[in-house]
Amino acid sequence: MSSAKHLIHHELLHVLGYEEGWGYWLKKAGATKVDSSKGMQFDTLISALKAAELGQGVALARSSLVERMLASGHLIAPLKRYLPTQEAFYLTYSPHQIVNPNAAAFATWLTSTARDART
């Protein structure tokens, strides 16, 4: 696939809850003839990426979340277009104590990684 307009021939894989999904991306890429409302919808990015890996369509994802899958060949980037996003995600938890040790380890890792990325 050489340009975004060729997406008209492919199934778009949508992740519910993303404000800057296919509609946003296609508009920014100038692919006005591609109908962003068509395609399969998934409740998680992991599900959409698995469908893409199985050849069911084309998914959008943040490059930082798929770089290992791209490097290993499990996924390919058919278009080399990367767009900045304004969408943000937040980590929220009780100010008292995180009971689940796995959740606590994840929160520690995530805040440390975010802190390192800013420096």
- Report d(CA 98, CA 116) in Å as an integer: 22
The residue with greater pLDDT, 93 or 117, is 93
Which secondary structure element, helix H or strand E, spans residue 13, and what is its range? strand 12-15
The single-letter DSSP state of residue 114 is: H
The pLDDT score that the predictor gives to residue 92 is 81
Q: Taking the CA of residue 73 as centre, how many other CA atoms within 13 Å lie in the half-sphere pointing to its CB?
A: 0
pLDDT digits (tens, 9 = 90+) for 13-47: 999 987 788 988 888 888 889 999 899 999 999 99
**59 forms bridges with which residues in the sheet?**
13
- pLDDT (tens digit per residue) in 40-85: 999 999 999 999 999 999 999 888 788 899 999 999 988 876 667 7
Q: Where are the domains of the chain?
A: 4-72, 89-119
Superfamily of domain 4-72 in CATH is Periplasmic binding protein-like II (3.40.190.10)
Query: Which residues are registered as beta bridge partners of 15?
Result: 42
pLDDT at 44: 93
**Is the pLDDT score of 119 beyond 70?**
no
